[in-house]
Amino acid sequence: MIQAGIFGAPPITWTDLERMDAEAPQLIVWSVPIMLFFTGLEYYLAWRENRDTYNNRELLGSILVGLGNLLSNFLTKIVLFAMVILIYNLIPWRMEFRWWLFFPCYILQDFCSYWAHRISHEQRIWWATHVTHHSGNHYNLAVSFRLSWIQQFKILFFIPVVLAGFHPAVFFVVNQIAVLFQFWVHTEYIGKLHPIIEYIFATPSNHRVHHGTQEKYLDKNYGATFIIWDRMFGTFQPEEERPKYGLTTPIPYSANPFFLNFHELRDIIRDVRRAKTWREKIWYLFGSPMKIAQEKKQKTAEKTLDKVPAETT
């Protein structure tokens, strides 16, 4: 039976923080062997069937990025715990720990995830924390390992979940489950599912669209678990022809995890330094990554034309 008196939980002390850190389930770490098994199975099937699903250099890059992400999560875990608990202690409507609160917390978390994901595609400074995930030119389970080492900054988008008063243990378990859900959608081996499932959830078919570079697929299907948000806010696109994966301006196959994580940040710094006005600097920081790329291509084309000697008559 659900208890109504869930508000007014006592503040969490720093001693509680240490205990929670020790007792918190490490769902992502525990799931690593399972994810590696299914990735290996998919790799074997693709090799046996001679499918263009994997590139070995790209696969190595995905694994190295994933290992680095685990390390960055480990190093920032206590800081994130402390920040969430600080906010939790400041609000008077703190909720106690209840198992059934996982469900409303998950829905609110996924709603915030939609907007965090969408803004990460619409503003270049946030795109730098997400571009790593889209840098693969093939679509496979290993792509789910490509999580930026600086994506923890996007916890700012999830402050509404913390402000709602959910217990920090609920918040962090929900966050881990949400990340794990996104593993299975990164495959071409699962086709379209039942229409009801496709209508509600971010299935492999729906998420393949998100990784496509065709014009109609660009900046579509941001939902992490629920695709309902995309239907509500006009960013839904069904899968039609097979997507062409990667970035609109493809990067070379690389196994260098530092390049995969920071090449966009390097380009931002270079563009901001070269910008002549503050307005242009702000544009290179917060403008649309797609429009900035188009502008840079146009400028490059114009420079090339200027170098071509005029025809003589």
Q: What is the mean pLDDT of the chain?
A: 90
Nearest of 105, 95, 97, 121 to residue 286 by alpha carbon: 121
How many helices (H) and strands (E) would you count in the chain? Answer: 14, 0
pLDDT > 80? residue 25: no
Residue 71 CA to residue 68 CA, distance in Å, equals 5
Mean pLDDT of 4-24: 75
Grade residue 295 by pLDDT with cuts at 50, 70 and 90: confident
Residue 309 CA to residue 209 CA, distance in Å, equals 43
Residue 162 CA to residue 159 CA, distance in Å, equals 5
Strand partners, 281: none
Q: By the 8 A CB rule, do 203 and 189 touch?
A: no
**DSSP-derived secondary structure letter, 303:** H
Predicted confidence (pLDDT) per residue in 59-105, tens digit? 999 999 999 999 998 888 888 888 888 999 999 999 998 989 999 99
Predicted confidence (pLDDT) per residue in 227-282, tens digit? 999 999 999 999 999 999 999 888 887 899 999 999 999 999 999 999 999 999 99
Task: Answer left, alpha or beta for residue 9, where phi above 0 means left and psi between -120 and 50 means alpha.
Answer: beta
Residue 216, C-beta contacts closer than 8 angstroms, at least 6 positions apart: 237, 240
CA torsion sign for 117, 118, 121, 126 is: negative
Residue 141 CA to residue 189 CA, distance in Å, equals 10
- Angle CA 161–108–142, to nearest 5: 100
**Gyration radius of the chain over CA positions:** 22
Q: By the 8 A CB rule, do 101 and 6 touch?
A: yes
Coil, strand or helix at 46? helix
Structure tokens at 165: 């008063």
Structure tokens at 202: 């971010």
The predicted pLDDT at position 3 comes to 45
Q: Where are the domains of the chain?
A: 14-233
The predicted pLDDT at position 294 comes to 84
How crowded is the C-beta side of 207, counted as CA atoms within 13 Å?
A: 29
The predicted pLDDT at position 312 comes to 44
The predicted pLDDT at position 13 comes to 82
